[in-house]
A and B are shown apart, each in its own frame.
Chain A
């Protein structure tokens, strides 16, 4: 199985900050990578697919980059509503594994 490792596990940042979350795959997944946002008690929401393509309706302050084994999700100017847990997922090989998540807190 491909292991997905996210870092950091927890981050606290202020409104307006630029925040970068990292996801590393144990083997190459090309650009078959997605990012999701999950708020407490809610289903995950797709933010980014194919490593860097913004899902329709997602604010442009979110962006993704990377290929192979190393990926990043960047929030250019943090907003209060961005408080959530963020997950990466590889979709190149079964099982379609998720990272363990990064919890983002707004200071």
Chain B
């Protein structure tokens, strides 16, 4: 079955760090554009970051300098390293595959990150 499974979320204090993982089965994250999208409680979707097949990365201004997207080709896993976390980073974080038309055609189930003291 082709799917994405996120992990690594939890409760963290402001200023702390967390690393999210997104493990792919059925396709290679190496050859695909992979994204992170987040959704704060009761709010809409916010694009966070992308990593291209050639390693090029882009970030939303709200996370630039604090978050780092990467992938582990040997484990077919996408990561999001989140540092200097803020209360406003509280959200469900989804990984998503970019497909035809650059649209996100496959999503993980999401992992909740709560930043609170």
Contact = CB atoms under 8 A, between A and B. Distances in A.
Contacts, number: 67
A95 interface: yes
Interface residues of A, number: 24
Interface residues of B, number: 23
Interface in B34-77: 35, 37, 44-47, 50, 58, 60-61
A32 B45 contact: no
A62 interface: no
Interface of B: 35, 37, 44-47, 50, 58, 60-61, 94, 98-105, 107-110
Given A46-B99, A53-B101, A95-B61, 11 more contacts: A32-B101, A43-B108, A46-B103, A49-B102, A50-B100, A50-B101, A87-B45, A89-B47, A98-B44, A98-B46, A101-B45
